[in-house]
């Protein structure tokens, strides 16, 4: 088995998605405590392994269609640099090792890991061919990461965190579908059959609804009485401009620059968006950790 092609197929550049597991840690005011931080890092590593295993399985199931794609045809499995058999063997080993590690960390965390893996395997073999359900599955993967992050540090997760995570992930998933549809043009359905069920107009309508819902949910979260009581501050609303700019910038890149195929690539390569996300994260940490008397548990 060739290590180089295998590591490439694990898509380490996509592992930034697993940073969602740190959300509950940060918002529960345990970010700078060694024990919870170490457990969250371990959870992050486990989810990187699980997501890598899912990518291997997905690339094997999409082998024929990836060979028709101008960029995905260069992936190790599609190009022949890594055999499907070796990929599936590596995926199986990764799944077993990661699930055992998850169980050692926490049974509740292990349950989240199993649910994440099951959902993604169902997506790879069946659900990615079901219109609307496909993008909902991708979004639920982020929600399960957030729930797992709370489980591993043993704090209660906020309903607001779940709603905002789901809506933002749905926004990114729909934008990705739009990019795939518009960039591949007439050959879109040959690469991904489900794209035949969508149209740019339909996706734009769905993106509009989700964008408005996402912004509204975040605004309500920062202004909600329970949020102010939990953190003993009303300054979380100061982060709303960062969220607005980030979403508007992403829409600009999708519609004007015809990007959006990989949210991770956009985040890592678009400097204004990267700076905005960094400033938003820093503002959240400063506000939450300097508020007097904020509770130590993530309540509702």
Of 157, 174, 204, at which residue does a domain stop? 157
Residue 103 has a pLDDT of 96
Same domain, 92 and 120: yes
Same domain, 149 and 45: yes
Same domain, 141 and 222: no
Question: Collapsing DSSP states into helix, strand and coil, what is residue 240?
Answer: helix
Cβ partners under 8 Å of residue 56, min gap 6: 9, 10, 77, 87, 88, 90, 91, 94
Of 128, 157, 186, at which residue does a domain stop? 157
Answer left, alpha or beta for residue 132, where phi above 0 means left and psi between -120 and 50 means alpha: left
The DSSP symbol for 232 reads: T
Same domain, 51 and 174: no
Averaged pLDDT of the chain = 89
The residue with tokens 């749905």 is 170
Residue 54 has a pLDDT of 94
pLDDT tens across 165-201, in order? 999 999 999 999 998 888 776 666 566 788 889 999 9
Same domain, 49 and 180: no
Determine what percent of the chain is predicted with pLDDT higher than 90: 59
Q: At how many degrees (to 10) do helices 84-105 and 34-61 cross?
A: 160
Same domain, 145 and 170: no
CA distance 96 to 182: 38
Same domain, 5 and 127: yes
Nearest 5°: phi and psi at 198?
A: -110, 165
**Distant-in-sequence contacts of 91-94, Cβ < 8 A, 24+ apart:** 91/53, 91/54, 91/56, 91/57, 92/53, 94/49, 94/50, 94/52, 94/53, 94/56
- Other residues' Cβ atoms within 10 Å of the Cβ of residue 228: 16
pLDDT tens across 136-165, in order? 999 999 999 999 999 999 998 888 889 999
Same domain, 212 and 107: no
CATH number at residue 64: 1.10.357.140
Expressed as residue numbers, the domain containing 27 is 1-157
Asked whether the predicted pLDDT for residue 274 surpasses 80, the reply is yes
Same domain, 205 and 138: no
Residue 245 has a pLDDT of 97
Of 157, 189, 218, at which residue does a domain stop? 157
Cβ partners under 8 Å of residue 38, min gap 6: none
In contact, 49 and 94? CB cutoff 8 Å: yes
Question: Collapsing DSSP states into helix, strand and coil, what is residue 121?
Answer: helix
Q: How many separate domains does the chain show? A: 2
Same domain, 244 and 122: no
pTM: 0.88
Same domain, 60 and 93: yes
More confident residue, 70 or 63: 63
Same domain, 178 and 291: yes
pLDDT tens across 232-265, in order? 888 999 999 999 999 999 999 998 888 777 888 8
């Amino acid at each position: 088995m060739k290590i180089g092609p295998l590591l490439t197929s694990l898509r380490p550049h996509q592992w930034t998605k697993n940073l969602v597991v740190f959300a509950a840690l940060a918002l529960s005011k345990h970010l700078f405590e060694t024990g919870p931080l170490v457990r969250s890092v371990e959870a992050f590593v486990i989810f990187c392994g699980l997501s890598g295993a899912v990518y291997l399985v997905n690339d094997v199931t999409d082998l024929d269609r990836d060979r028709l794609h101008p960029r995905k045809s260069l992936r190790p499995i599609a190009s022949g640099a890594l055999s499907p058999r070796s990929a599936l063997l590596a995926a199986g080993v990764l799944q077993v090792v990661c699930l055992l590690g998850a169980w050692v960390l926490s049974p509740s965390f292990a349950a989240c890991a199993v649910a994440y893996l099951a959902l993604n395997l169902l997506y790879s073999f069946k659900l990615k061919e079901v219109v609307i359900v496909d993008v909902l599955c991708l979004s639920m993967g982020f929600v399960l990461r957030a729930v797992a992050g709370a489980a591993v540090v043993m704090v209660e997760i906020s309903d607001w965190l779940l709603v905002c995570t789901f809506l933002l992930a749905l926004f990114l998933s729909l934008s990705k579908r739009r990019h795939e549809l518009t960039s591949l043009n007439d050959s879109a359905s040959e690469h991904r059959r489900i794209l035949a069920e969508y149209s740019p107009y339909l996706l734009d309508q769905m993106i509009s609804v989700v964008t408005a819902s996402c912004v509204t949910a975040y605004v309500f979260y920062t202004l909600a009485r329970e949020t102010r009581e939990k953190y003993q501050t009303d300054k979380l609303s100061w982060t709303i401009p960062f969220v607005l700019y980030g979403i508007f910038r992403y829409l600009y890149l999708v519609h004007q620059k015809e990007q959006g195929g990989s949210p991770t690539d956009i985040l890592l390569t678009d400097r204004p968006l990267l700076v905005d996300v960094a400033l938003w994260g820093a503002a959240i940490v400063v506000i939450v950790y300097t508020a007097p008397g904020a509770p130590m548990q993530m309540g509702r």
